[in-house]
Amino acid sequence: MWCKFRLYVFTPHVIKFNMSVVKKDKVVYGMLQDELERCQGLVSSLVAGIAELPKGSLHVRKIPSGKKYLPYHYLKFRDGARSLYKHVPERLVQELASQIEERRKMEENLRQIRSRIKYLNKLLKAGRS
């Protein structure tokens, strides 16, 4: 039996968007430029914030002490090609864990903003030509 409806599947690399709206409308172009400047400001503030937070990950080992095992917390991070380990006192473990989690969230946010900047640059470049 023949079907009179056809299903067309378009993949993102096949579809080419018409960027003529950006070319014709100065308001949209200005809004895109403002968004680009805002994102670039966010990148610089995020990079500064990330630099202040500790990098690496927290680990714990069980060290034998007599008949019991005591936890030994340490921070593992890279310095170039070398892996470094730094002891973390037990009283600072929770604080350090929250700082590392905050750094990871900021790094993810930074990746998203850089992706947005790349997209905005494409739009603005299409608007200039």
Q: Quick check: 87 and 24 in contact, CB under 8 A?
A: no
**At 37, phi and psi to the nearest 5?**
-65, -40
Which domains does the chain possess? Answer: 21-128 (1.10.287)
Q: Whole-structure pTM over 0.85, yes or no?
A: no
**pLDDT (tens digit per residue) in 70-113:** 999 999 999 999 999 999 999 999 999 999 999 999 999 999 99
**pLDDT (tens digit per residue) in 115-127:** 999 999 988 887 6
Q: CB within 8 A of 114, min separation 6: which ones?
A: 43
